[in-house]
A and B are shown apart, each in its own frame.
Chain A
Amino acid sequence: MSTAIYSDLRSRLTMGALVALPFVYLLLLYAFPIYKVVALSLRDYQPAYATDDWIGLENYREILGDARSWQFIGRTFVYTVVCVGTSFCLGLGGALLTVAVGRAFSERWAGALRQVVILPMIFIPAAAGVMWSFAYTQHYGWVNHILLMFGLPAKPWLVTDAAFYLVMATDIWGWTPFLYLIFLAALQQLPAEVIEAARVDGASARQAFWYVILPMLRPVIAIAVTIKSLDTYRAFDYLWIMTKGGPGTSSTTLNIATYKTAFLDLQFGKASAYGVITMLFPFAVVILFLALRRGRVQ
Chain B
Amino acid sequence: MAQFQRFSFTLGAASCVAATVMAAVLGGGAALAQGSIPGTFPPIKAGKPHAGAVINVPSQKGWASFAPAVEKTKEFEQMTGITVKYDMMPGSEIPTKQLLAVSQKTGAYDIVTQHASSFGSFFNFLLPMEDRIKEVWGSVEKFEDWVFPAQQGVKNKDGKHYYIPFHANAQIGYYRKQLFEDPKEKADFRARYGYDLAPPTTIKQVEDIARFFTRPDKNLFGLTANWGGGQGFSAFLDYYNATGHDQLGKDYQPTMKTGAGREAAVQILAWMQGAIHKDKFVNPDSANFQTGQVSDYFLSGASAMAYGWLSDYWAFMQKPENIKQVGPVGAFRFPSFTGAKAGGYSSWWVMGIPKDAKNPDAAWEYIKWVLNEHPQIEMAAGQLPPIRALAYKTAVEPGGINPRALYDAFAEARIIIQVPEMSQQPRTKGTELYTQLIANKLTPGQFVDEYVVETERTLRRAGYIK
Contacts and interface: CB of A to CB of B under 8 A. Distances in A.
Interface of A: 47-48, 50, 137-139, 154-156, 158-161, 244, 246-250, 263-266
21 contacts: A47-B99, A47-B100, A50-B103, A50-B124, A139-B219, A139-B283, A139-B285, A139-B297, A154-B284, A155-B284, A156-B288, A159-B435, A159-B438, A160-B439, A161-B441, A246-B229, A247-B436, A247-B439, A248-B435, A264-B96, A266-B99
B121 interface: yes
Given A48-B121, A50-B124, A138 B283 contact: yes
A178 B370 CA distance: 52
A138 B432 contact: no
B279 to A, nearest CB: 15
Given A138-B285, A158-B288, A265-B425, A248 B100 contact: no
B325 interface: no
A249 B433 CA distance: 9
Contacts of A156: 284-285, 287-288
B119 to A, nearest CB: 13
**Dominant SS among interface residues on chain A:** loop
Most buried by A among B285, B297, B439: B285
Contacts of B302: 139
Contacts of B254: none
Most buried by B among A50, A155, A156, A250: A156
Contacts of B287: 156, 159
B442 interface: yes
Contacts of A47: 99-100, 103-104
Most buried by B among A155, A244, A247: A247
A35 B207 CA distance: 58
A158 B289 CA distance: 11
A248 B284 contact: no
A247 B435 CA distance: 5
A246 B229 CA distance: 9
**Dominant SS among interface residues on chain B:** helix
A8 to B, nearest CB: 49
B143 to A, nearest CB: 28
Contacts of A161: 439, 441
B428 A264 contact: yes
B228 interface: yes
A246 B257 CA distance: 26
B202 interface: no
Contacts of A249: 432
Given A139-B285, A247-B438, 18 more contacts: A47-B103, A47-B104, A48-B99, A48-B103, A48-B121, A137-B285, A155-B284, A158-B288, A159-B438, A161-B439, A244-B229, A246-B432, A246-B435, A247-B435, A248-B435, A264-B96, A265-B425, A266-B100
A138 B219 CA distance: 11
Contacts of B152: none
B424 interface: yes
A47 B103 CA distance: 6
Most buried by A among B283, B297, B435: B435
Interface in B125-172: none
Contacts of B100: 47-48, 263, 266
A161 B432 CA distance: 14
B50 to A, nearest CB: 30
Contacts of A264: 96, 428
A289 B303 CA distance: 57
A263 B96 contact: yes
A140 to B, nearest CB: 9
Given A137-B288, A138-B284, A246-B229, A159 B439 contact: yes
A265 B284 contact: no
Interface in B74-101: 96, 99-100
Contact of B436 (A248, A263, A266): A248
Contacts of A263: 96, 100
Contacts of A250: 436, 441
Contacts of B228: 159
Contacts of B283: 138-139
Contacts of A50: 103, 124
Most buried by B among A137, A159, A248: A159
Contacts of B442: 248
B297 A248 contact: no
A112 B70 CA distance: 50
Contact of A248 (B96, B104, B428, B432): B432
A249 B442 CA distance: 12
6 A-B pairs closest in CB distance: A248-B436, A247-B439, A247-B435, A47-B103, A138-B285, A156-B285
Nearest to A141: B285
Given A48-B121, A138-B285, A247 B99 contact: no
Interface string B415-441: 000000000110010001101101101
Contacts of B424: 48, 265-266
Interface string B294-311: 000100001000000000
B251 to A, nearest CB: 24
Contacts of A248: 432-433, 435-436, 439, 441-442
A102 B424 CA distance: 60
A266 B118 CA distance: 13
Interface string B394-426: 000000000000000000000000000000110
A50 to B, nearest CB: 7
Given A47-B104, A154-B284, A159-B439, A266 B96 contact: yes
Nearest to A246: B435
A249 B96 CA distance: 20
B282 to A, nearest CB: 11
A158 B219 CA distance: 20
Contacts of A137: 285, 288
